[in-house]
Amino acid sequence: MQKLQVASGKGTDSEKRKRKDKLVMNAWCWLFMALAVGFYILFQGYPIICSIQYSLLDWSGMTGYAEYVGLANYKELLHDELFWNAFFNSFKYTALIVPLELAVSLFLAYMLNNEKLKGSSIYRTMYFVPVVTTTSVVGIIMIFILGVQGPVNHLLTSLHISGQPVNFLGNAKYALPTLVVISLWKDCGTYMIYWLAGLQSVPKDVYEAATVDGANRRQTFFRIVLPLITPVGGIIAILCAINSLKVFDIVKTMTEGGPFYATDVIATYVYRSAFSSEIGMPRLGYASAAALFFGGAVIIIGLVLNGIKGRLSKSL
């Protein structure tokens, strides 16, 4: 009995020590996170709380006069055709660019992950250069490259691929796909790096085993590598989708949402509502409501899709 008591006493001490260690560990974690959390609260948390407040106001953002209007801004959004146009354009853009971005960047990453490829670091840098180039500069240059008298049209007409110059940005049919192609070129370097990280996490012996089993490079990729890096791909897809849903700079620089709202996405719609107006004052409150509504819709759509996916996988 005495022995048992001693044993249990020891157990308590060890638990106490473990608990203490855990507390110390947690304290260190919080300490290291404090700066990031502080910045998050300051630059993300506070603005979003302000946005929620502003979305309930009829306020230009320029004067001190702001009237509480409850959910009127949200109600107005529901009947605003231009908001819905921007809303669907954002999803159209995302639906076009995410698969392309994932496929092209994975292809590049897989090519560059080949150890036998000489000068792969030069290629990596080359593909990454557009990422570090300022979007506004890319936009301005692309306007001229894709212009009616630009080199792309010159090539198309001189090779008789097209009889007439193609108005890539001035025609409502082509403007959004053109933006998608430019964004793809500009951003695929980032996703290529993510894929490379995923590919490099695949153990070498897996490749060796596949080679021993007689698998060629294509089979190795589709049967061995792709299943192994799919979880990384999921994260990359989420990041890519988030970035494309909030696309702004390339649209603002190249088309300003035009021609006639053909490339107007939520971010340009929000910007226009918040900061510019032709008659009267801008509408910061309304713009805040649009941003929050869109964000909320994205969460709901995501949850619904996730639910459908869960049911489908169960039934299969």
Partner 1 sequence: MKKRQLGALLLAGVMTVLSLSGCGAMPSTGNQAEESTNTAESDSPAEAAEDKAEAVGKTEGSDEKITLRIVDWSDGSAQRREEFHKKYMEEHPNITIEYTMLTVDQFKNTIVTMIKSGDGPDIFPIPGGMTLKTAVEEGWYQPINSFVTEDFADQFDPRSFEEGVTHIGDDWYTITEQMPVIQCLFFYNKDVLEQAGVTEIPTTYSEFREACRKITENGNGSVYGLIDGGKQVNRMDVLVRSLAAAAGGKVAAITKVLTVDGRAPYDTDEMKQAMGFLKGLVDDGSIHPDTVNISAPEAREMFAQGQAGFLCQGMWCISPWGEGYPDLNYGVMAVPVPDGVTDTYVQGGELSPWIGVYKQSKHPKEAAEYLMALFSEEYGYQSGCVEDGAFVSVIPAINEKYMTNEIMKEYYTIATETSKIVPTITSRDEKANDFYVEVKDIQPSLGAIVQGIFSQSITDFDGQLKTLADSSTEEWKRACEAVGMDYGSLEFPNWDAKKDYTEQDYEELK
What are the residues whose beta carbons fall under 8 Å from the beta carbon of 111, sequence distance 6 or more?
117
- Count the site residues for partner 1 by CB under 8 A: 74
Rounded Cα distance, 128 and 120, in Å: 12
Nearer to partner 1, 107 or 248 (CB): 248
Q: Check residue 204 and give left, alpha or beta (phi > 0: left; psi -120 to 50: alpha).
A: alpha
**Interface stretch with partner 1, choices 16-24, 30-38, 213-221, 264-272 (CB under 8 A):** 264-272
Smallest gap from residue 28 Cβ to partner 1 (A): 24
Q: What is the largest CA-CA distance in the chain?
A: 99
Residue with tokens 């340009």: 268
Q: What is the DSSP letter of 43?
A: I
All residues at 6 or more sequence positions from 32 whose CB lies less than 8 Å from its CB, including other chains: none
CB-nearer residue toward partner 1: 229 or 291: 291
To the nearest whole angstrom, how small is the minimum distance from the Cβ of residue 103 to partner 1? 20
Residue-wise over 246-282: b if at least 16 C-beta within 10 A, else e?
bbebbbbbbbebbeebbbbbbbbbbbbbbeeeeeeeb
Binding of residue 115 to partner 1 (CB under 8 A): no
Identified binder of partner 1 from the candidate list 165, 177, 224, 249, rule CB under 8 A:
165
Kindly identify the residues of this chain, within the stretch 33-92, that bind partner 1 according to CB under 8 A: 43-44, 46-48, 50-54, 57, 59-66, 82
Binding residue for partner 1, selected from 122, 299, 312, 316, defined by CB under 8 A: 299
SS3 17: helix
- The interface with partner 1 within residues 278-297 (CB under 8 A) comprises 278-284, 287-288, 291-292, 294-296
Report CA torsion sign: 134, 139, 145, 146: positive
Query: Which one, 37 or 52, has the nearer CB to partner 1?
Result: 52
Q: Is the dihedral of CA 83, 84, 89, 91 positive or negative?
A: positive
Map tokens 């603002």 to a residue: 252
In the complex, least distance from residue 158 CB atom to partner 1, rounded to whole angstroms? 12
Instruction: Give least dist CB 99 to partner 1, A.
Output: 17
Q: Which is nearer to partner 1, 148 or 224 (CB)?
A: 148
CA distance 94 to 78: 22
Residue nearer to partner 1 on the CB measure, 53 or 120: 53
- The site string for partner 1 over 243-262 (x = CB under 8 A, - otherwise) reads --xx-x-----xxx-xxxxx
The smaller minimum CB distance to partner 1, of residues 210 and 262, is found at 262
Site for partner 1 in 172-191 (CB under 8 A): 172
Nearer to partner 1, 108 or 267 (CB): 267
In the range 224-243, which residues lie near partner 1 by CB under 8 A?
A: 234-235, 238, 241-242
Tokens of 116: 């036998």
